[in-house]
């Protein structure tokens, strides 16, 4: 039986949520940007009005303002995006339990078995669009197709607030005309490689000799060729709700007082490594990092900061934690430290991002997942950070001292 898959994509997600929360922004060119003072001062999302001026995602703020002098720049509010994202998913699961998130603003829905109840796929798609508009005040574009890859492609074809149906009969007309870069998993590097062989559209790719593609690009080449020809059999995962834990934290009293920055780094890295490993175990990402410091006068204080993008690798968490430490340095040597990851959200199966920083963050996560496996098999010390060798006595086995804070335990944190 042919499957019916929907891909629902919230239009200009971050910018739309900002406009929803602040009516003064509506109808104006708006860009959600990372901290203008930090190196992350780039456009994360923009409204259609800003886009019309040539403002693009990933652009530095100064450049965006050159294009559009009246541009309204607002900082991101990840907690709100997580909230709205969760509300949208709640709405989707009233149609099927097969809901697979892809990032915060996109989901696949397998509605094959839901059509008896709710009508054919395109009807469900229109229904969802109407409800999201009415109940959440946002617009979505929906692709309806017989597999995930074409459903995703469909949701990109008409925006905003539109339904596009890609069928066995029309995919050659609709999908094949599109640039090959629109195909899921075809990033800028692959696009450039394919272009060298004259493959510009999805149709160009579909019409290639599959053996030729195999010798040029290996297994990936075959996979992409199958996608282009509508042969994607991958299933839509069953929805797993938000992580059951709200924060993941870890603290330690150091074996000796921490005097130098190097001392603090060793301890923070050990804490961050274990916090990040636990995040990955829970398949969660955090949007806020909190540290706690107790110095030899036994004064205890906590400070927190927002990450520019949600992360689940220890380098991003460490960088935020060490920045916090430097900004809130105690007067005396440090006795104990804690690191907590807050503002948790479920991590999608694969995070594909166009932003260089997020791509780097994803690569770090992949690297650390490999480290997780090595440590699971050969023990924690099979892989160590070079900094820990400065004073191995400080390199605590944070793993053994996990402190997990369950939902509700910390009440109002985020």
CA distance linking residue 340 with residue 412, whole number of Å: 14
Q: CB 16 → Mg ion: shortest distance, Å?
A: 9
The helix/strand/coil state of 60 is: strand
Cβ atoms of 266 and 285 within 8 Å: the answer is no
- Our CB check for Mg ion shows the closer of 9 and 316 to be 9
Q: CB 362 → Mg ion: shortest distance, Å?
A: 18
Q: CB 272 → Mg ion: shortest distance, Å?
A: 30
Q: What is the largest CA-CA distance in the chain?
A: 74
- Our CB check for Mg ion shows the closer of 107 and 344 to be 107
Q: What is the CA radius of gyration of the chain?
A: 24
- Residues labelled as active-site residues: 106
Q: CB 78 → Mg ion: shortest distance, Å?
A: 15
Beta pairing, strands 300-311 & 284-295: antiparallel
- Our CB check for Mg ion shows the closer of 57 and 361 to be 57
- Our CB check for Mg ion shows the closer of 59 and 141 to be 141
- Our CB check for Mg ion shows the closer of 7 and 265 to be 7
> Closest by alpha carbon to 154, among 191, 130, 184?
184
CA distance linking residue 211 with residue 218, whole number of Å: 9
The footprint of Mg ion (CB under 5 A) covers 9-10, 13, 105
- Burial of 378 (C-beta count, 10 Å sphere; 0-12/13-18/19+): exposed
Residue 346 has phi, psi (to 5 degrees) of: -70, 140
Instruction: Write the CA distances from 285 to 43, 104, 255, 276, 307, integer angstroms.
Output: 21, 11, 30, 9, 11
CA dihedral over 135, 235, 151, 146, signed as positive or negative: negative
Q: CB 17 → Mg ion: shortest distance, Å?
A: 11
Cβ atoms of 362 and 301 within 8 Å: the answer is no
């Amino acid at each position: 039986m042919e499957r019916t898959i929907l891909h629902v994509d919230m239009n200009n997600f971050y910018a739309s949520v900002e406009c929803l929360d602040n009516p003064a922004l509506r109808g104006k060119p708006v860009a959600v940007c990372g901290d203008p003072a930090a190196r992350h001062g780039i456009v994360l999302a923009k409204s259609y009005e800003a886009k019309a001026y040539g403002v693009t995602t990933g652009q530095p703020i100064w450049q965006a303002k050159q294009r559009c002098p009246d541009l309204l720049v607002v900082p991101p509010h990840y907690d709100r995006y997580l909230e709205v994202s969760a509300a949208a998913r709640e709405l989707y699961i009233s149609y099927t339990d097969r809901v697979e998130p892809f990032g915060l603003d996109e989901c696949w829905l397998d509605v094959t078995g839901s059509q008896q109840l709710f009508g054919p796929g395109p009807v469900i798609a229109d229904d969802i669009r109407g409800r999201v508009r009415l109940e959440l005040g946002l617009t979505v574009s929906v692709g309806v197709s017989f597999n995930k890859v074409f459903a995703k492609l469909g949701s990109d074809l008409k925006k905003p607030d539109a339904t596009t149906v890609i069928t066995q009969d029309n995919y050659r007309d609709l999908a094949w005309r599109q640039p090959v870069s629109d195909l899921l998993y075809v990033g800028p590097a692959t696009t450039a490689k394919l272009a060298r062989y004259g493959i510009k559209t999805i149709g160009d790719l579909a019409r290639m000799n599959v053996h030729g593609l195999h010798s040029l690009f290996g297994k990936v080449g075959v996979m992409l060729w199958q996608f282009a020809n509508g042969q994607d059999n991958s299933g839509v995962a069953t929805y797993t709700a938000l992580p059951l834990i709200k924060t993941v934290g870890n603290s330690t009293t150091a074996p000796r007082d921490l005097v130098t920055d190097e001392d603090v780094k060793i301890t923070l890295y050990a804490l961050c490594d274990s916090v990040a490993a636990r995040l990955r175990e829970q398949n969660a990402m955090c949007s806020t990092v909190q540290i706690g410091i107790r110095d030899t006068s036994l004064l205890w204080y906590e400070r927190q900061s927002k990450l520019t993008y949600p992360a689940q690798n220890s380098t991003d968490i460490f960088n935020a934690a060490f920045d916090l430490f430097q900004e809130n340095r105690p007067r005396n040597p440090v006795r104990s430290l804690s690191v907590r990851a807050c503002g948790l959200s479920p991590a999608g199966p694969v995070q594909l991002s166009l932003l260089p920083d997020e791509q780097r963050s994803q690569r770090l996560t992949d690297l650390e997942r490999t480290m997780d496996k090595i440590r699971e098999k050969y023990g924690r010390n099979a892989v160590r950070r070079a900094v820990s060798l400065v004073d191995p006595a400080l390199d605590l086995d944070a793993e053994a001292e996990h402190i997990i804070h369950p939902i509700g335990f910390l009440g109002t944190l985020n």
